Each structure stands twice: as structure tokens, then as C-alpha cells.
A and B are shown apart, each in its own frame.
Chain A
């Protein structure tokens, strides 16, 4: 790869950022769409990061990630029904999500993960069905509402109305992303987890308990998913129902594919890009109706993968024949 090629992606991103900034200064409409897109994009990003964490360690895409996030949001709902306030239920839900993710890895994923990718993917598909059924069984299919996380008001910033929950979402997601990356970068546990994901055999020779690390990885992914679920529900437009994370999961897939499944930074940047693009397209291109949003995401995934088969931040693996 030449130096020029290496500069293409950062330069293109810088260009996009400049475009957005200028647009926001010029038009208040544009600014409104962008803020909405950033908040939504960060939610995609955190779910995409959850996918990437699992993909890095085991080369498996967890198709149940969205449903897991949906289940944990229902658990948060139940906790508030039992009398906890929203912000008391929030950390409790994250803890439960972590335990649930770890538990699932230990019980159903570990026995198949060494067998084949397809077997593991099918187990996650089975999990998808089970979680869907359990939630419908316990809470029913009707729409439920969580207490609002950030209230309904909005702030006026230079003529642009910014809703409070957008700001709240951005803060919460960024905080959890910072927490996870600090864990990976600065703690011994994080180092061990990175080692287990990168070189399982060498890591286990060095005394890292690889299996335990993989289980913790699933727990962290479930935790990030819970953040995504709870923050999706912070948007008053979304009400809690058993399918509310499915479209979000597709956009998270698109984000992860865009950023490259191996790159945590790529997942977040990809999520932001997809979120902003989606908000702008809905705002400015009436031809893309709500029915065409998912096909649009699909076309986007295909185009990105055709141009950069390993995503924007992925490294190409060269094979010579």
C-alpha cells in the first residue's frame, strides 16, 4: 500500500466532517438533521462495536446481538416497573446484560465455537428465535413505554433546536465507549483480552485464560448492546416492542461493514457515517421513503464492500496464488 492510498480514508473523512460543519453553519435545517444523525449514529456505533468485539475474538457475527439488546431494554423496563427510577435501573441493567452475555457464551457458544463458523452463526440464529419468543411470552407484543431518560425539552443553540435526549444519548454513548476503550487499553484484563483475540494459542501459552476472556468479551458486547437499546428507547419516537432493535441491527451491520469488522474505531466512525447519512437522506431526498430505507442500507453495504472489501479501516489480506 502506498502512502497516498493510506491517506485516502482519513482525507475523505476530514472532507466529510468539513462539509458537515460548513453545512451546519449555513443552514439550521441541515444542523438539525446532523445533530439527529450524530445521536442516532452513535447508537448504531455502539451496537456495531458490540458486533466487532465478538467478531475480532471469534470471527463470528452475532445475529442475536440486536435481540439481546432488546431483551435487556425490557429488563430495564421491568426494573422501573418494580419501583426503581430510570437512572437506578440503568446501571443494574448494564450489570445484568454483562452477566447474561457471559452466561450465554459459556453455555451455548463455547461448545460450538471451535467447530465451525457456520455452526456458531446458526446457534446465534437459534438464540435470536429464543429471545424473541421469551420476550413475547413474558411481556407480550404490545407497545410499552419506559420512563423518559432525559425529558422532552430542547435547547436553542443559535436558532437550532437541539432536543435534550440527543445530547443525553451522545454523552451516555461516548462515556460507555470511552469506558470500554480504557478497559482495553489501560488494564491488565484488557491486555489479556486483546491477546486472546489476536493470538489465542500464544496467549494461552503466556498464561491467559483464553476461554474466560472470550466469555468476558461476550459480556462486554451485551453491555454495549444494552446501552444501544436503552438509548434507542430514549428517543420518544421509539416505543418498546419486541422488534424495535431489528432495523437498528441492520444499520449496525452496515456500520460494522463500512468500518471493517476488525476495527473498533471503524465501527464507531461507520455508525456515525451511517446515522448522519440516513438523517440527511431522509431530510433532503423524499424519493427514499421509509420503505426504501432498509434497501438503501443494503445498497450502501454492497457498494462499500465492492470498493473496500474489508471496510474503510480494515487491512486487506493479500493471498498470492
Chain B
């Protein structure tokens, strides 16, 4: 029991801090906090695949796009509630992840990286092709009417306040974090790790590799789908095509690397890194241009990889062993 107190206690402190935050910082910073929450969900999802199941993906931004479009189209055509839209995004992306995961079963390492990269590049082209339904380069605009669910009135996607957005993003993060923890601590999580560590040994112990790799894809895609639906909310209910570029997929992978592969503890750091760093570095003089920001960002990514091999989670583990010693 004693071993559990530290992690549970720090989780509780963190939850309280995150809950108080929007009431003490400015509106813009609340918005940034919500963005970090959105990245938190996506990085968590990708970590389930890359960190725990050992399958690299450079294309999970595509699943965010699919989730975002699902939620926005449902809202446009059927005036669905925000929460229903997010659940639908989860379901649609789960199925998309299954469908992509099946052919991906035959691919390994670098080939999988190539296929997922191609996915990231091609999905954003589709709205331009079928612009009647998918809105072309301006994207799909969610409905501007408020909606109701279980007696609660939800603001329209076009007029969500930053505090609302923050609450929704972090409430979803908390639910999905607990879900991930439950999945990863049990039978499925063990199977995931065995696939990552040694496929042959996994098969020999009766783990169906194919089933678990596909499941890993589906779960991580579903997480990214929810993040995508939330990020549509964060841009006033619109799915402008510019926001789903390859860079998004790269950012998710960077987030996972900074967080530390195969650990749930560093994810907040990974999400904050990709969510806040570009915005912070624009406010530094001299480098404060868009491109100066890219340079700083890229250099920091390389630096983190050189200095922190295990990401932030590795740093935490090292600190913990120092305290114990």
C-alpha cells in the first residue's frame, strides 16, 4: 500500500491544481491550458500504441482530423451535442484505427512509419477533393445552436468559452487517463508490452499478436479522435484544413518522446511541451517570428532527445531513485 500513496497523492494534488488553474490565470492562458489538455489526450493515445505496443506511427494527426470532421459534420447535419460528438468521434476513429491496423499488421518498423506518414499526408487532401460534403479548404462549420443533454444546456460549438473548453478537455483527459490505466494494468496491457518486447516470446506464450496490434491501433486512434473533436471546438467549431497538416502528426510523436515511451507519468510534460512551447517561443525577442519559433522548437526537440533518453518519465524515475537512495 505504501508504494501507492506517492503516485495517488501526486495525482490528487495535480487534479486540484488543474481544477483551480482556470480561476486564477487569464482567459488566454486558460485557452492554452485547454490546448494542453487536448494534446494530453492525443499523446496519451499515441503512447498506448508507440510506447506500450511498440508500433511507431507518424500519422496519428490523420485520426485527429477524422475525429474532428466526424464531430463537426454531426453537429452541422444533426445538431448533435458536444459530448455525443466526442463519443461518435471516439467510435468512428476506433473503427478507422481497426481498418488501418489490419493492413498495418504486415508492416514492421520503418515500413509502418512510411505507411503512417503517407496516411498523415493524404487524409488532409480528401476534404479538398470532396468539397461539397467536407467543406473544401474552409472546412466544416459546426452548428451554432446550443444543445441539451441530461438536463444540462451545452453552449454551441461556435461560442464555447475558454473555461468551458478547459473543463471539457480536462474532464475528458481524466476519464481517458483512468481508462488507459485500467486497460494497461490488466491482461491487455501485459499483452501489449509482450508484443513490444519480444514478438516471438509473445506468440509462444499464446498472445495473438495480430489482435493486439490492431487493438492498439484502434484504441490510440480513438483517443486521437476525441482530441480532434475537442480541437475543432477550440477553433470555434470549424475544421479548417490547415490545422491537420503533417506537422500535427510530428508534434504528437514529439510529445510521446518527451513524455517518455511506455509511461503514463510523463504525458503531462509531453503535452505541455508540444502545446505551450511554440506559443512561448513566439514571445521571446529576436526569435519571435514564426520561423524563429520553428528553429527553437526543432533544436529543443533534438536537445531533449540527446539529454533525456527516457523522456520526462525517465527523469522522474531517476529523481525517485535519488530520493530513495
**Quick one: closest B residue to A109, CB to CB?**
B302
Q: Is A49 an interface residue (CB 8 A)?
A: no
Decide if A298 touches B302 in the complex (CB within 8 Å): no
Residues of B within 8 A of A111 (CB): 306
**Quick one: closest A residue to B106, CB to CB?**
A309
Interface residues of B in 266-325 (CB under 8 A from A): 289-302, 305-306, 309
Decide if B298 touches A129 in the complex (CB within 8 Å): yes
In angstroms, Cα B50 to Cα A29, docked, is 47
Decide if B295 touches A261 in the complex (CB within 8 Å): no
Residues of B within 8 A of A310 (CB): 111
B227 to chain A: closest CB distance in Å? 19
Q: A112-B306, A291-B125 are in contact. Are A122 and B118 (CB under 8 A)?
A: no
Interface residues of A in 84-133 (CB under 8 A from B): 108, 111-112, 115, 117-119, 121-123, 125-133
Partner of B204, one of A63, A309, A321: A321
Decide if A130 touches B118 in the complex (CB within 8 Å): no
In angstroms, Cα B301 to Cα A130, docked, is 10
Residues of A within 8 A of B289 (CB): 137
Decide if A118 touches B257 in the complex (CB within 8 Å): yes
Decide if A128 touches B291 in the complex (CB within 8 Å): no
Decide if A126 touches B110 in the complex (CB within 8 Å): no
Interface residues of A, CB < 8 Å — how many? 50
A120 to chain B: closest CB distance in Å? 8
Residues of B within 8 A of A136 (CB): 290-291, 294
- Among B110, B126, B253, the one with the most A-chain Cβ atoms within 10 Å of its Cβ is B110
Decide if B118 touches A250 in the complex (CB within 8 Å): yes
Decide if B111 touches A125 in the complex (CB within 8 Å): no
Decide if A253 touches B118 in the complex (CB within 8 Å): yes
**Majority-rule SS of A interface residues:** helix
Q: Is A216 an interface residue (CB 8 A)?
A: no
Q: A134-B295, A301-B118 are in contact. Are A115 and B309 (CB under 8 A)?
A: yes
Q: Is A224 an interface residue (CB 8 A)?
A: no
Q: A61-B113, A122-B253, A292-B129 are in contact. Are A298 and B291 (CB under 8 A)?
A: no
Q: A59-B110, A136-B291, A305-B111 are in contact. Are A295 and B122 (CB under 8 A)?
A: yes
B125 to chain A: closest CB distance in Å? 5
Interface residues of B, CB < 8 Å — how many? 50
User: What 1/0 mask marks residues of chain B from 209 to 221 whose CB sits below 8 Å from any chain A CB?
Assistant: 0000000000000
In angstroms, Cα B106 to Cα A111, docked, is 31
B247 to chain A: closest CB distance in Å? 8
Q: Is A55 an interface residue (CB 8 A)?
A: yes
Residues of A within 8 A of B293 (CB): 133
User: What 1/0 mask marks residues of chain A from 295 to 318 whose CB sits below 8 Å from any chain B CB?
Assistant: 101110110011001100000000
In angstroms, Cα B295 to Cα A165, docked, is 35
Decide if A126 touches B302 in the complex (CB within 8 Å): yes
Decide if A137 touches B295 in the complex (CB within 8 Å): yes
**Quick one: closest B residue to A242, CB to CB?**
B291
Residues of A within 8 A of B296 (CB): 133
**Quick one: closest A residue to B204, CB to CB?**
A321
Interface residues of B in 216-251 (CB under 8 A from A): 246, 250
Q: A253-B117, A253-B118 are in contact. Are A118 and B298 (CB under 8 A)?
A: no
Residues of A within 8 A of B129 (CB): 289, 291-292, 295
Decide if A122 touches B291 in the complex (CB within 8 Å): no
Partner of B254, one of A125, A131, A257, A299: A125
In angstroms, Cα B115 to Cα A289, docked, is 21
Q: Is A21 an interface residue (CB 8 A)?
A: no
Residues of A within 8 A of B122 (CB): 294-295, 297-299
User: What 1/0 mask marks residues of chain A from 52 to 64 whose CB sits below 8 Å from any chain B CB?
Assistant: 0001000111010
A58 to chain B: closest CB distance in Å? 10
Partner of A261, one of B58, B111, B254, B301: B111
Decide if A122 touches B257 in the complex (CB within 8 Å): yes
Q: Is A228 an interface residue (CB 8 A)?
A: no
Partner of A121, one of B56, B103, B118: B56
Decide if A254 touches B118 in the complex (CB within 8 Å): yes
Please name the 3 residue pairs, one residue from A and one from B, whose CB atoms are nearest each other, closest first.
A133-B294, A129-B298, A130-B298
For this complex, 14 residue pairs linking A to B, each with C-beta atoms less than 8 Å apart, are A118-B50, A122-B254, A125-B250, A125-B254, A129-B297, A133-B298, A134-B291, A137-B292, A246-B246, A253-B117, A257-B114, A291-B126, A291-B128, A309-B106
